[in-house]
Each structure stands twice: as C-alpha cells, then as structure tokens.
A and B are shown apart, each in its own frame.
Chain A
Amino acid sequence: MKKKYGVGDIAFEVFLVVFLVVFVVVTLYPVINTLAISFNDGFDTITHRIHFIPHMWTLDNYKAVFAKEGYRQAAIVTVARTVLGTLLSLVVNAILAYVISRKKFLFKKSFSLFWVITMYVNGGLIPTYIVFQKLHLTNSFWVYVIPGAVSAFNMLVIRNFMNGIPDSLEESAQIDGAGYFKIFTSIISPLCKPVYATITLFVAVYHWNAWFDAMIYNKMHDELTVLQYELMKQLQTAMKSAGSVEGLKNSGTTITPTSIRAAATIVTMVPILFVYPFLQRYFVTGLTIGGVKE
C-alpha cells in the first residue's frame, strides 16, 4: 500500500534527518573534542582552539599519564575491583535469584520481601559509614567489593528471566535425581547467559566508574585510589585554578593540566566504549525483561 508523498511528508523527512545529525553531533562532540585535545600539544591547546582534529600531534600527554605513579596504581586497583567485584556480584546475585525463583523454596515469600525492602529503605551515608568502620572495611580494598555485591535490583532482573524458564526442565531433572545445586549449575545457568551478560555489563560499568567509596572510605590511602577518583581530584584542581597558564610556561614542560586530564579521561573511557556496542543486544533484552514488555 504505497502512499503518495505530500509536502508534509517531505518536511517530516527533512526534520528527521536534521534531528538525527544534530543529535549525533551533540552526543559525540565532547568525546571527540577530548580525544583531539589529548593528542594535541598542551601549549598549543591554550593558544589554538581545538575542535575535532589535533593541531600539533603528540603522544606526550599519554606518556605523562602512564608515567604518573598515582594513575598507574589507580589503574591496577580499578581493574582489580572491576574483575573481582563483577565476578562476586554475578555469582551471589545469580544464586540469590535462583533461590528466590524456586517455587518450592520454603521461605520464598518472606525471603523475597526481605530483599525488596532493601530497595526502598537504606541506612544512608553516615550509619553505613559507621557500620563499615566497625567491620574494619574502611581503609581496605574490600570495601569496594563486598558491600555492594548483592543488589536487589540486579537480583530481580535475573529472577524475572529465570521465571520465564519452564518448570518442566527442573522437574525432569529432579526425576533424574539432580539436586538444586546441580540444576542451578547445569540447567538454569546455561540458559541464563543473556541475563548474566547484562548483569556483568551493569556491574562492571558500576565498578569502573565508581569513585565515591574511594573518597569516603579510603581517602588517606593513596595505594587504594581508583581512576575516577584521580580524575575527580584533577577536575577539582582545575575548577580552582583556571588561568595559571603563566606559571606553566616557565616550568619548561609542554604538558598542561587540561591536556593530561584529557588523556586520562580517554584512557578511562576506552575500555567501556569498546565493549558496550557488542553487548548491546544483551542489555536491551536485559532491560526490557519482566513486566514492561509483556
């Protein structure tokens, strides 16, 4: 059923194209601009406006980032917390979701409620701080990994997926003599790969981007700093001392705070930007699982 195109339709098409182009430019500009500044000579950036393409190419900014002790240590800690935190989180949330989604589990109702409550009521910053202090979690690496491991929201995403798996699979395995652990590892989990991928992405991004816990719990420990916290400190310095260019000019280096910040930003962005497009179909289904799409 082909319709004739009127003036309105053509205007609409033009609007669509303009909108999409503007949208893409506005979304990408800040990132491409940061990328260009990170590859541009620090002094040149001050005198020469950089938009999309570097004016004086250099790798010095990146060399400076990787040479900085603070950043190297922060990178190690960030990678460690991301890997350990994501693994732990995935395992415990999957087990919790599995337990709660078993129809015959004796405490199904009360145990579900126990976790749903945690989504709406929490102690808040200060009581949580005091509790962590008492548990000797402050001033330690484990404060990054252990407290956030179970999250009711992530658990519910997995549980909603598990609820969609037919009960007959579990029942036939039970007839064959499989226990609940065996059913979890060899029947349910292999079917849950898409939702596990979603949760892995969510949690890994959370860990990669986290900084507040580093500031609150491990402020005095430079060896426990994370990348985003280092970026944040640089940003705070930049907010305070905008315009101390003269001092830099005499220092003999061509690396400015702006240029090193740009390079550090790119370094922290790159891993995520390379991973997320490939996981797209997982997180799209992960997000829409459950009630909304039915």
Chain B
Amino acid sequence: MARNTINSLSSADLGVKKTNKWAEAKRQPFLLISSALLLIYGIIFYYVPVLGWITAFQDYKPAKGFLKSQWVGFAKFQKLFENKTFYLAFRNTLAMGVINLVFHFVTAIAFALILNEVRVMFAKKFVQTISYMPHFLSWIIVTAIVRDILASDGIVNEFLMNVCGNKMPIDFFAVKGYFWWIVAFANVWKETGWNAIIYLAAITAIDPSLYEAADMDGASRFQKVWYITLPSLRPTIMILLLINIGNVLNAGFELQYILGNDVISDVSKILDVFILDWGISQFDFSLGTAAGIFKSVIALILVCLGNWTAKRTGDERLF
C-alpha cells in the first residue's frame, strides 16, 4: 500500500505549464476550495499539535500558555533521562513491540500458508471468516478476555490443574516473567487472521504455472510451499515489515494500562502509560511532551533505518 502511495507522489505529478495555470485554476474551483478547507483542517489538527513540541523546552504552565511559560532548554529532557521509570518504560515498550512484530509476521505468514493448503473451499471460507472476528473486538473486550481466561478460576488454570497436575492456580498477573508473553499471545489471538489477509491475496497472485512445473518435477506439497509460495511472498513481507517497523513503539495500550499492576509494573509499564501518568495525572505537561518527542524520534529513526536496509538489499522500499 505505502509503496504505491509514496512512489506515486513523485512520479504522477504531471505539472502544468505556467501559461495555462490561471486557465486551469478557473476550471477547478471545487478542487481548490475543498483543498483549502482541508488544508486549514490539517494545519489545526495535525500540524499545530506538532508546534506544541515547544512545551518540552519550557516549564509549561496551562495558566500561562505557550507564550508566557518559562523556557528551560533541555532541562526536561535531562529530567527524563535521569528517571529510572522512563528507562524501564522504554525497554518494555521496545521489548513488547519487537516480540509483537516477530509474532505478527510469523503467525500471519504461517496461517496464510496453512490455510492456502486447505482444498475444501467451504472449510477454508468458514475458518477465514472466524479468523477475522477477533480483529473487530475492541482491545477493552480482548483485555477482559485475557483477564478472565488467565484468572485463578479461568480455563488456563483449570487445564493446568486438571490435566497437567498443578496443585495451585498460577497468578499470571503477579509474575514478571509472563507479562510480555501474555501481551504477545493476546496480539496473536486478535490479529493473526486479519494480518493474513494480505498474504492470502498475494498467494492468489502467484503464477500457477510455477506450481505446474513443480508438479512435473515431482515436488512435494511442502517443497512447493517452501520453494515457490514463500519466496513469492518476499516483496509483500518486506514492504509490510517496513510499514510496521515504524510502529514498533506502539506496543498496544489497553493490556498494559489495565492489566499492569504494582507487582509487575517493572515489566508492564510502557511509554504511553508513562506519558499519561506524568502528563495528565501529574500535570507535568512538559515532561510528558518530552517523552512523546523521544518516542516519535526513535520511530522515525527506525523507519529510515529500515528503508536504508531495504535499499541496500535491493528490496522494496517506502521512499
């Protein structure tokens, strides 16, 4: 999606000769008026908040506003980097983001490959329809589900006690080692079917003659998946990886915010919760903004790094 997007920006602009500009402008009042209105909207809701980044260099007081608040330079960033919780929050966000990214790709591709092997159309359609369902549930509902199945009287503990012979129920939300994997599992449960849509579509676009040729050579089903389907998906995988790498620091919110507690906050607190704690609850708007800027900058670096790597390896890239 984004490849098309960004490449066509530079290539599709045809440009109009200067002499014709006024004549052309008279022909497109609808385009000009609506774009002007949308420009104002975009400035107000997307660009002015970015100007708000200056609050990170001030000791922002709501009563004084942007103009009269005292300038403090990088003091807020210094305060941020001296904060131990901030480091933990950054580590946790990055760790959960990376784990989610890996699971996202592995499960979506594996699911698409397996589903593609189902030859009974009715079963395939049915399973696929079911697989989208969790994507449409809210994160609040998914968080509630995670909490319920992992509760001391939930189905997981019931299984562990009755089948695996555990004597006591495990309190999953009181053990630091489990939390990241709970988040990863919840993401897999919610999004695998949805993420597989693009791969399934890409698989249908593979030239059938490749499989016919492989049949002639006596390739097994597994060999066809490994040597034809998977390599054909490479461009799709690379472009989606690039799109998602900038989102690594958006490691979700609800699970960490609602399920995180004092016992496991060392591993459950993420940057967004940190920002919320400081910005909205403790009214240190400047510190919250500084943390937000840090997050944006890291995300931008990751996107550029991914793009640069793709350029080096000769793969698809975003820009």
Residues of A within 8 A of B (CB): 1, 3, 8-9, 12, 16, 19-20, 23-24, 26-31, 33-34, 49, 51, 92, 95-96, 99, 102-109, 111-116, 118, 120-131, 133, 135, 146-147, 149-150, 156-157, 159-160, 163, 179-181, 184, 205, 208-209, 211-212, 216, 228, 231-232, 235-236, 238-239, 242, 261, 265, 268-269, 272-273, 276-277, 280, 283-284, 287-294
Contact = CB atoms under 8 A, between A and B. Distances in A.
The 6 closest A-B pairs by CB, nearest first: A123-B49, A127-B52, A124-B292, A209-B138, A291-B4, A109-B13
A33 B141 CA distance: 13
Given A1-B215, A33-B155, A236-B258, 20 more contacts: A20-B127, A26-B189, A30-B145, A34-B145, A34-B148, A49-B153, A99-B38, A112-B9, A122-B50, A124-B295, A126-B52, A163-B8, A163-B12, A209-B138, A211-B140, A228-B138, A232-B254, A273-B136, A287-B201, A288-B201
Identify the interface centre among B51, B53, B140, B288: most chain A CB within 10 Å of its CB: B140
Contacts of B28: 102, 104-106, 180
A280 B55 contact: no
Contacts of A129: 279-280
Contact of B202 (A95, A269, A292): A292
Nearest to A211: B140
Contacts of A3: 215
A146 B131 CA distance: 32
Contacts of B202: 288, 292-293
11 contacts: A8-B220, A23-B127, A27-B133, A30-B148, A113-B9, A125-B288, A156-B5, A180-B30, A205-B136, A209-B139, A287-B201
Interface string B23-45: 01101111110110011011011
The A interface, classified by DSSP as helix, strand, loop or mixed, is: helix
Nearest to B11: A109
Size bin of chain B's contact surface: 35 or more
Interface string B284-299: 0100110011011001
A188 to B, nearest CB: 12
A80 to B, nearest CB: 18
A89 B202 CA distance: 29
Interface string B133-150: 110111111011101110
B69 to A, nearest CB: 11
Nearest to B110: A19
Determine chain B's interface SS by DSSP, over half rule: helix
A211 B138 contact: yes
B234 interface: no
B158 interface: yes
Interface of B: 1-6, 8-10, 12-14, 16, 21, 24-25, 27-32, 34-35, 38-39, 41-42, 44-53, 55, 62, 111, 114, 117-118, 123, 127, 129-134, 136-141, 143-145, 147-149, 151-153, 155, 158, 189, 193, 197-198, 201-202, 205, 215, 220-222, 236, 239-240, 246, 253-254, 258-259, 261, 272, 275-276, 279-280, 285, 288-289, 292-293, 295-296, 299-300, 303
Given A125-B288, A291-B5, A292-B202, A277 B293 contact: no
A221 to B, nearest CB: 16
B25 to A, nearest CB: 6
A48 to B, nearest CB: 11
A96 B38 CA distance: 7
Contacts of A19: 114
Given A125-B288, A212-B253, A120 B145 contact: no
Given A99-B38, A104-B24, A113-B9, A128 B134 contact: no
Given A126-B52, A291-B5, A239 B259 contact: yes
Given A106-B32, A120-B300, A160-B5, A239 B55 contact: no
